[in-house]
Amino acid sequence: MSALTALTLRAAVDGLRARDFTAEEITRAHIEAIEKARSLNAFVLETPEWALAMARASDERLARGEGGPLEGAPLGIKDLFCTRGVRSTAGSRILGDFTPTYESTVTANLWRDGAVMLGKLNMDEFAMGSSNETSAYGPVINPWRSTASNRPLSPGGSSGGSAAAVAADLVLAATATDTGGSIRQPASLTGSVGVKPTYGRCSRWGIVAFASSLDQAGPLAKTVDDAALLLKSMSGHDPKDSTSLPVETPDFPALVGKSVKGLRIGIPKEYRVAGMPAEIETLWSLGIDWLREAGCKVSEVSLPHTKYALPAYYIIAPAEASSNLARYDGMRYGARVEADTLADVYQLTRSAGFGDEVKRRVLIGTYVLSAGYYDAYYLKALKVRRRIADDFDRAFETVDALLTPTAPSAAFGLGENSADPIAMYLNDIFTVTVNLAGLPAISVPGGLDSQGLPLGLQLIGRALDEGALFSLAGALEKAAGFTLKPERWW
C-alpha cells in the first residue's frame, strides 16, 4: 500500500497545496490500490482514465496557485449519484447502461472544488438494504475480519461500497446517501466516520430517488475533520431541488476541535433495547464518560415514540419507493425486455430488472397506498412520524445533542440475515428516527468488540446544527483515539 493512500483527506489536500506530491501521483496510487482490492467488490465502475484527466487538470491549477478546497483529492462516488458521461445504475439491472447527460448537484459541487472521481461505488439496489447484498453487482465485502473467523463480513448498507472503500484506503473519502441509516450504519461497521446532514442541507437533484422525504446525501470519511471538509463542499442551496434549504453553509471544519464545555447531552432511555450486546452498552457508557470529561453535562431524556419508528419507516419508505420506481418501465430509458403488448413490456422489464428486495418494498408500498388501506397504514404512519419529531423537539428544549449507539451489532456475516427481512430491518433501529424527523446525525468509531470489529457511537443534533455535532464528534474521536485499520488480507 502506498503511503499516499493512507493519508487523510485533510493531509492530502494540504500536501497537494504544498506540492509535496502531485494530484496525478496520488490518483495513480489510489488506482493501483483499487486494482489490488477488487476482491472487496467496492466499485461497480472504475474510471482510471477519467480520474487521471481530472488529476492533470488539478495539477495545472495548483501550479498556477489556484484550485479549490478539494483540489486534486481522489474520491469515490456512490452509484446513486448521476454523473454526466459516466454510467449510473443505482446498483440495479433495470437501469442497464444508463449514462446521464447531466451531473447531480452534489457531485457538481465536488468537481467545482477540484475533487477527482476514481469511479462509482457499489451499493444496495436503489439504496434498499442494510448489508449491501441486494446489489445487482454482488455484495461488497467488509475489509475488516473477525479474529474468531475468516468468514466474509458485511460492510453494512446501503452505502457499503463507500464505507469499504474508505476503510480499505481505496479513496480519500466518498459520497453516500442516508434514507434510514445508510451512511451511519456502514460507518459503524467499518470504523469510519459518517454524517447524515439535516434534510435539505445537500441537494437531492440528480440523486436516484428511493424515498424522497427521507433521502439525504452525506460524506463517509476517515476522520471527523475529513467528513466536515467534504460536507462543506457537498452542501449548498439548489433551486433545482424544491426541498433544498436556502441557508448558508457554515465552515464545518473550523468547528471540529472547538470546546464542548457546557454542552448538554441527552441519553435516550428508549434506546436501551433488549438483546443489545453488552459490548455496545459498555461503549455507550464510555462515550458518556468521554463527553463528561470534555465538560459536557449529561442527563437522561425520553423519546417515547421510538418503538413505533421502525414500523412507521417501513410503511413510509416503501410507499414513496413504489411511487418513485413507477418510472422504470422499459419505455424511456434503461433496460427493456421486448414483448408483444405494452403491459407485457412493463411486467417483464420490471420482473427482470428489479431484485427481490426492491420488489418486496414496491409491493408493500403499493399495498399501504391502496384504497381501503391508505388511512389504516400510510396516514397513521405519517401521524407517528409527527409524534417522533415532536419527541425530539421536546428533548432539545433541555439538551443540545443526543448520544446513542449507531448500530445494534458489529459487522455480521454475509448471508447471515438475508433470509429474514425483519432481522435485517432491525439493523436500522437506532438510525431511522433521525430520518423521520429530518435531523442531522454523525457516527464516530469508538472501539472494537471482543472479535476485533469496530463499533460506532451516534450523535444526533438539532436541525441545521451540524456544527455542534462536529465539535462533539471531534471530542469523542480524540477521547476514543481510534486509529486502527483493518489488517490487509485482500
- What is the gyration radius of the CA atoms in the chain, in angstroms? 21
Q: Measure Cα distances from 48 to 119, 380, 393, 439 in Å.
A: 7, 49, 47, 36
Closest CA to 76 of 220, 201, 196: 220
Looking from the CA of 277 toward its CB, the CA atoms found within 13 Å total: 15
**SS3 for 34?**
helix
Residue with cell 446513486: 80
Residues 208, 202, 176, 3, CA torsion sign: positive
Backbone angles phi, psi at 233, to 5 degrees: -75, -35
> How far is residue 317's CA from residue 214's CA, in Å, rounded to a whole number?
8
Hey, what's the cell of 481? Answer: 483515539
> How far is residue 179's CA from residue 272's CA, in Å, rounded to a whole number?
23
**SS3 for 465?**
coil
**SS3 for 229?**
helix
Specify which residues 458 forms β-bridges with. 404, 443
> How far is residue 293's CA from residue 287's CA, in Å, rounded to a whole number?
10
Does residue 356 come out as left (phi exceeding 0), alpha (psi in the -120 to 50 range) or beta? alpha
| Tally of CB atoms within 10 A around 369 | 17
Hey, what's the cell of 113? Answer: 472544488
Hey, what's the cell of 265? Answer: 447531552
> How far is residue 241's CA from residue 202's CA, in Å, rounded to a whole number?
9
Catalytic center residues: 78, 158, 182
Determine whether 258 is exposed, middle or buried from the number of CB atoms within 10 Å of its CB (0-12, 13-18, 19+).
middle
Determine whether 238 is exposed, middle or buried from the number of CB atoms within 10 Å of its CB (0-12, 13-18, 19+).
buried
Note whether 314 and 181 are within 8 A (CB): no
Closest CA to 141 of 45, 219, 38: 38
> How far is residue 56's CA from residue 62's CA, in Å, rounded to a whole number?
10
Mind giving me the DSSP string for 280-293?
A: HHHHHHHHHHHHHH
Hey, what's the cell of 39? Answer: 476482491
